[in-house]
Amino acid sequence: MVGITSYGAYIPMYRMSLQTLAQTWGGFAGKGEKAVANWDEDSLTMATESSIDCLNGMDRSLVDGLYFATTTPAYREKQSASIIAKVIDLRRDITTADFTNSVRGGTSALKAAIDAVGAGSAKKFLVAAADCRIPAPDSPFERLLGDGSAALMIGDSDIAVEIEGSVSISSDFVDIWKREEDRFIQSWEERFIVTQGYLAHLEEITSILFKKYDVAPKDFTKAVFYAHDKRRHGQLAKQLGFDPKTQVQDPLLGSVGHTGSAQAMMMLVAALEEAKPGDRILFANYGDGADAFILKVTDQIEKVRNRRGIKKNLASRMELQTYGKYLHFRNLMDWGRKREPDRFGAVTMSWRDRNWVLSCHGHKCRQCGTIQFPMQRVCTWCQAKDDFDEVRLSDRKGTLFTYSMDNLATSVDKPTVIAIVNLDGGGRVSTVLTDRDPEKISPDMPVEFTFRRVHEAQGVHNYFWKCRPVRS
Amino acid sequence: MAESFKDKVAIIGMGCSKFGENWDMGSEDMIVDATYNALEDAGIEMKDIDAAWVGTIGFHGTGAGMTSTGITGAAISMPLKLHYKPVTHVENGCATGTDALRNAAFAVAAKVYDIVLVVGVEKLKDTGFGGLGELAIPPHPVFEGGITAPGMYALAATRYFKKYGLSPEEGKKMLAKVSVKSHYNASRNPRAHLRNVINEEQVLNAPMIAWPLGLFDCCGVTDGAAVAILCRAEDAKNFRDDYVLVKGLGLSIGPGQGSIRTDYDFTIWDETVHAAKEAYAMAGIKDPRKEIDLVECHDCFSISEVIAVESLGLCERGKAREDLEAGAWTQEGDIPVNLSGGLKAFGHPIGASGCREAFEIYQQLQGKAEDKSRRLKNPRMGLVHNQAGLPGKFMCAVGIYGLPD
C-alpha cells in the first residue's frame, strides 16, 4: 500500500493587501490579501520550510528521495532538490529531481513518487512544491499571484491518506507561458484559456476519473482542485456537481494568492488539516494537462496533526505596508549606481563548509560536551583537536542574547538586525534576524532558524541560516 | 629569559598631519607632513633614521605602497625617499598604530637599530560613500557578512543596557555623556577633526546608525597620519630632555569567542583585560586608576569608551554611568579620558590612531598640548588603548607612556 504519510506547508510572513495595490495603481481594490515572500526568500527556501514542517517528528535518515516542483527555480541550470535535500539534512544516497516548467509539477512529482514507492525502489519519498512567481506590475496577475509552499511525504507504511486511484491527461494547450527571455509570465485571451483550458481540462479529467473508478461527487467528502481564479473555481465546482458550501476546498486566493505549482498541494494540506478518518477526497490539478486522485483518509491522520500547515502559517503574519517595499523585495526597479563594494562570494568556500552552511551542523566536543557553531577544528572551550560529533542545530530553538539594528549595512530591508542567539541545549549562533518587526524585538526573546537566500555574489545565490521570532 | 621592557625605549619626536576630510591630500601627503613634523620635533634629519615601520590597513590603498599582492613598506619609502632603508608594514586592524610602535620599540630595545621611525596612516575618504560601509572582505561568503562596525558595537550596547538594568533611553543617555565630553574636548583642540560642541539632546535625537547607536555615538571618518621617532632610553638625552619613555606594551588577540561561546556576554572585553594586564605588569602598575593620569582609549563608538574604561580596570564594572554623571572622566575629573577628543572627535584614521593617541599622551606629559587650557597639571603617566576587530573578536593593544622616574 502506498499513500501520504505526512504533510507540511509554508506561507511567508508578509501579506500584501489588495488595497495596497489599488492605492498604488488605482482601480478596484476588492477584499483580500496575498502572501509575499520576504526579500531573502525564493522557491528553494520556501520548500525547505514546508519540507521541515512535513518532517516534524520523523527520522530524516529514513527518507529515500526528494522531488521538488516549481516554475521559479533558483537556477535555470542547477538542481534545486539536491540543495533542499542537503539543507533539510537528508541522506546522500537518495534520488532527487526537479519538476519544473508547469504549474502541474507538484502532482507530476507526486505521481512519480507514488510510482517509486509502489515499485519498491523507495520506502519514503518527499515531494515539495513551491513557487514565487513575479507578476508584471499593474497586471491582473499582480492581484492574483502569491507565494507559498507545500510538502507531502509518500510512504509504504503509517499511511494517513490512502491513494485509491489516479488518472492523468497530457495536453499541448497554451494558456500561460514564460520564455527564457521573459521576465514575467504571459497569457492568451482570458475567455479562451478559461473555457478551452481550465474548465475543459478539469471537467475532462474528473469525468475520466469518475468513469474509471465508478464514483460520483456524492462519494466525496471534499473536492480539492486547482483554481484559475476564485470565480472560475466556484463555477467549475458547480459544473462538476459539487456543493460549493460543503464539499469544496477554499483555494486560499483571498489569503495566500495563487501559488502556482504549490497551489493544489497547499489546498490539499488545508483539507487534510480538517479531514477526519474515513473522509474521501477528490484531488485534481491542472496545467499542460491534468491529474486527478481519489484519496481516503485513515486513522493515522490524527498522528500527523502537529504541523504548522496552512492554518498556523496563515495566522502568523505581518503586513507589507507599502508597494515601495514590495518593489525592493522583488528588485523591480533600477536603483541607480550603488556606491558600495560588491558582495563577497566563493563557491569553493561555501562548498567546503556545506555541512554547517547548508545542513546547519554544529560540532559537539567529545571531551567537554559543548556545542560550537560554525564547526571548529579546535574546541573553543577545552582546546581538544578534531574530536567532535556533528549535530544538526536547525531544529533547535533559541533566545536572542543580544542584537542591534544596523542601518548602515546594505540591505533590501533595512535595518539589518544583527543577532547573537543562544540555542536551547547549548551553542551560540551569530546571524541575522529576519521576518521581524523592528518595534517588537527585545533581548532574550525566543527565536528559531529559517533558511534564507542571503545575497548574490559572483553570479551565485548564497544561502544561509537566519533566525526569526518564533512563528506561533 | 624575557626581561622587563619598562624604560628601555624613549620617544624623542612625534608628529601629526592634519586630521579631517582631507580631500586634497593623499596618504603620501599626510605621511610627508607628519614625518617632517616629527623629524623637526626630534631635531633630526631623515638620513638619521635607521629603519622604519608603517602601520596601515590600506583601507583604500596607500598609493605608492600598493603592489598587486598588497601593501608594502614602499607605502612610506616612496613618499619619504627612505633610500633602501628597511621598512616593515604592520597591520593588525584598528590596533595597527600601536602594534607598529610596539614592534619598532622591540627592534630598538634589541639594539638592532638606534633610531627608528613609526608611521601610522590611513586615507578613508576616497570611497565615494559615507562611513566605512560593510567589511570590505568579509571572512566568509555567508557567515557574518553584510554587517558594519556600528552594527557590531551596538550588540555590546544592547547587552550592556540589559545586564545593568538600564532602559534603552537610560542607556542612550549614559552614552550621550561620552559623546558630549568628546566633542567638548575636541572643541578646544586645534588639531581635532570634529570641533563642534554638542549637547545631550542633539545626541539623543540624531539619526540612528545602528540601534541603539545614533550618529553622535559613532566616531568621525577621518584621514590622517601620526608619526613617532624612537631610540633607546640611554640615548634619549642626546636629543631632548623632555623625552617620554615606553613603560609598558600589551597585545591580546581574541580567538573570536563572541560568536561561539554562550558565556561571552559582550559587556566586558577580554582582549582589553589581557592586553592591559600585560602592560600594567610591565610598567609595574598596581592601581591603574591612581597611577595613570590620563587615558586615550579607543572610543570608535560611545559604548566602546564605556566598556574599554571598565575593561582596563579604571572603573568598576557597571559603574561607568556613575563615573560619567560625576564627571570623573573629564579634564577636571579623577581619570581624564580622551582629552584630545578621542577617536570620536579627533578622528579615527585606522592605522594612524594608535600613534595619534600616543601623540596626545606625549604632548600632555611634556606640558605642550596645544591650547593651554587643555593641559593637565603635571601628568606623569598616560595610557593608550587601541583596539581592532569587533565585539566578540578583538585585537587589543595597550601602551603605557610616562616620564622618567
Q: What's the ipTM?
A: 0.93
Tally Cβ neighbours within 10 Å of residue A335: 10
Please name the member of B127, B137, B141 whose beta carbon is closest to the beta carbon of A350.
B141
The CA angle B101-B107-B108, to the nearest 5 degrees, is 90
pLDDT tens, residue by residue, A278-296: 999 999 999 999 999 999 9
Partner residues linked to A222 by β-bridges: A281
pTM above 0.80, yes or no: yes
Asked if the Cβ–Cβ distance from B146 to A343 is below 8 Å, we say yes
Domain ranges of chain A: 3-329, 347-469
Question: Is B138 an interface residue toward A (CB < 8 Å)?
Answer: yes
Partner residues linked to B236 by β-bridges: none
Average the pLDDT over A5-29 and give the result. Answer: 96
pLDDT band (50, 70, 90) for residue A335: confident
Among residues B348, B355, B385, B396, the one annotated as catalytic is B348
Please name the residue that has the C-alpha cell 532574550: A444
Query: Nearest-CA distance from B135 to chain A in Å?
Result: 9
Cβ contact B40:B33 at 8 Å: no
Question: Is B212 an interface residue toward A (CB < 8 Å)?
Answer: yes
Give the CATH number of domain B9-125+221-232; options: 3.40.718.10, 3.40.50.300, 3.40.50.970, 3.40.47.10: 3.40.47.10
Please name the residue that has the C-alpha cell 569567542: B257
Alpha carbon distance B299, B193 (integer Å): 15
Question: Is B168 an interface residue toward A (CB < 8 Å)?
Answer: no
Cβ contact B174:B324 at 8 Å: yes
Helices H / strands E in chain B, number of each? 13, 13
Phi, psi of B344 (to 5 degrees): -55, -55
Query: Is B348 designated active site?
Result: yes
Distances in whole angstroms, Cα of residue A100 to Cα of each of A103, A169, A292: 8, 17, 19
Query: Nearest-CA distance from A452 to chain B in Å?
Result: 10
Q: What is the dihedral of CA B304, B309, B312, B317, to 10 degrees?
A: -100
Task: Give the count of Cβ contacts less than 8 A between chain A and B.
Answer: 142
Asked if the Cβ–Cβ distance from A418 to B152 is below 8 Å, we say yes
Interface with chain B: mutation pick from A343, A344, A451, highest number of B CBs within 10 Å: A344
Alpha carbon distance A438, B271 (integer Å): 32
pLDDT for the residue A338: 65
Q: Report the candidate in A369, A393, A375, A366 with the shortest Cα–Cα distance to residue A447.
A: A393
| 8-state DSSP, B405 | -
| 8-state DSSP, B218 | B
Alpha carbon distance B76, B198 (integer Å): 37
User: What is the β-pairing status of strands A95-100 and A65-70?
Assistant: parallel
Cβ neighbours of B266 in A, within 8 Å:
402, 420
Q: Which residue of B has its CA nearest to A418?
A: B151
Please name the member of B138, B147, B266 whose beta carbon is closest to the beta carbon of A344.
B138
Query: Is B83 designated active site?
Result: no
The CA angle A30-A36-A42, to the nearest 5 degrees, is 150
SS (H, E, C) B281-346: HHHCCCCHHHHCCEEECCCCEHHHHHHHHHHCCCCCCCCHHHHHHHCCCCCCCCCCECCCCHHHHC
Alpha carbon distance A104, A93 (integer Å): 27
Among residues B94, B219, B297, B396, the one annotated as catalytic is B94
* More confident position, A450 or B68: A450
Residue A338 C-alpha cell reads as 550603488
Which residues of chain B register pLDDT less than 70? 60-65, 68, 135-137
Query: Nearest-CA distance from A391 to chain B in Å?
Result: 15
Question: Is B136 an interface residue toward A (CB < 8 Å)?
Answer: yes
Partner residues linked to A96 by β-bridges: A66
Cβ neighbours of A430 in B, within 8 Å:
143-144, 258-259, 392
The CA angle A91-A93-A94, to the nearest 5 degrees, is 80
Residue B305 C-alpha cell reads as 569608551
Please name the member of A350, A402, A438 whose beta carbon is closest to the beta carbon of B266.
A402
Alpha carbon distance B354, B98 (integer Å): 4
Question: In b/e form, how buried is each residue of B139-170, taking b as 16+ CB within 10 angstroms?
Answer: ebbbbbbbbbbbbbbbbbbbbbbbbbebeeee
User: What is the β-pairing status of strands A388-392 and B213-214?
Assistant: unpaired
Cβ contact A108:A291 at 8 Å: yes
Cβ neighbours of A407 in B, within 8 Å:
207-211
Distances in whole angstroms, Cα of residue A313 to Cα of each of A8, A12, A151, A185, B11: 10, 8, 14, 27, 67
Asked if the Cβ–Cβ distance from B154 to A455 is below 8 Å, we say no
Query: Nearest-CA distance from A413 to chain B in Å?
Result: 12
Asked if the Cβ–Cβ distance from B142 to A404 is below 8 Å, we say no
Cβ neighbours of B143 in A, within 8 Å:
353, 357, 374, 430, 464
Which residues 234-273 in chain B show a CB within 8 A of chain A?
A: 255, 257-262, 264-266
Long-range contacts of B127-136 (CB under 8 A, 24+ apart): B127/A339, B127/B59, B127/B60, B128/A339, B129/A339, B129/A340, B130/B221, B131/A408, B131/B209, B131/B218, B131/B221, B132/B59, B132/B221, B133/A340, B133/A341, B133/A408, B133/A410, B134/A340, B134/A341, B134/A408, B134/A409, B134/A410, B136/A341, B136/B59
Query: What is the fold, at CATH topology level, of the domain defined by A3-329?
Result: Peroxisomal Thiolase; Chain A, domain 1 (3.40.47)
SS (H, E, C) chain A: CCEEEEEEEECCCEEEEHHHHHHHHCCCCCCCEEEECCCCCCHHHHHHHHHHHHCCCCCHHHCCEEEEEECCCCCCCCCCHHHHHHHCCCCCCCEEEEEECCCCHHHHHHHHHHHHHHCCCCCEEEEEEEECCCCCCCCHHHHHECCEEEEEEEECCCCCEEEEEEEEEECCCCCEECCCCCCCCEECCHHHHHHHHHHHHHHHHHHHHHHHHCCCHHHCCEEEECCCCHHHHHHHHHHHCCCCCCCECCCCCCCCCECHHHHHHHHHHHHHHHCCCCCEEEEEEECCEEEEEEEEECHHHHHHCCCCHHHHHHHCCEECCCHHHHHHHCCCCCCCCCCCCCCCCCHHHHHHCHHHHCCCEEEEECCCCCEECCCCCECCCCCCECCEEEEECCCCEEEEEEEEEECCCCCCCCCEEEEEEEECCCCEEEEEECCCCHHHCCCCCEEEEEEEEEEEECCEEEEEEEEEECCC
Task: Please name the residues in contact with A216: beta carbons below 8 A apart, sequence gap of 6 or more.
Answer: A210, A241
Q: Which amino acid is at A470?
A: V
Residue A145 C-alpha cell reads as 499571484
| 8-state DSSP, B63 | G
Distances in whole angstroms, Cα of residue B318 to Cα of each of A288, B163, B330, B366: 68, 9, 18, 34
Please name the residue that has the C-alpha cell 640611554: B234
Asked if the Cβ–Cβ distance from A416 to B147 is below 8 Å, we say yes
Cβ contact B259:B152 at 8 Å: no
pLDDT for the residue B128: 75
pLDDT tens, residue by residue, B278-315: 999 999 999 999 999 999 999 999 999 999 999 999 99
Asked if the Cβ–Cβ distance from B154 to A345 is below 8 Å, we say no
pLDDT tens, residue by residue, A112-138: 999 999 999 999 999 999 999 999 999
Asked if the Cβ–Cβ distance from B392 to A428 is below 8 Å, we say no
Q: Report the candidate in B95, B100, B151 with the shortest Cα–Cα distance to residue B298.
A: B95
Distances in whole angstroms, Cα of residue B55 to Cα of each of B27, B161, B246: 12, 35, 18
Q: Which residue of A has its CA nearest to B60?
A: A341
Tally Cβ neighbours within 10 Å of residue B403: 17
pLDDT for the residue B60: 66
Asked if the Cβ–Cβ distance from A404 to B152 is below 8 Å, we say yes
pLDDT tens, residue by residue, A367-396: 999 999 999 999 999 999 999 999 999 999
Q: Ramachandran region of residue A326, left (φ > 0), alpha (ψ -120 to 50) or beta? A: alpha
pLDDT tens, residue by residue, A297-332: 999 999 999 999 999 999 999 999 999 999 999 999
Alpha carbon distance A422, B147 (integer Å): 19
Asked if the Cβ–Cβ distance from A409 to B151 is below 8 Å, we say yes
Cβ contact A418:B155 at 8 Å: yes
Cis peptide before A73 (omega within 30 of 0): no
Question: Is B210 an interface residue toward A (CB < 8 Å)?
Answer: yes
pLDDT for the residue B59: 77
Average the pLDDT over A203-207 and give the result. Answer: 98
SS3 (DSSP) at B154: helix
Alpha carbon distance A45, A452 (integer Å): 6
Interface with chain A: mutation pick from B142, B147, B160, B209, highest number of A CBs within 10 Å: B142
pLDDT for the residue B1: 83
Alpha carbon distance B191, B357 (integer Å): 12
Tally Cβ neighbours within 10 Å of residue A262: 35
Question: Is B333 an interface residue toward A (CB < 8 Å)?
Answer: no
pLDDT for the residue B70: 82
Please name the member of B129, B154, B265 whose beta carbon is closest to the beta carbon of A340.
B129
Identify the sign of the CA torsion B319, B325, B328, B330: positive
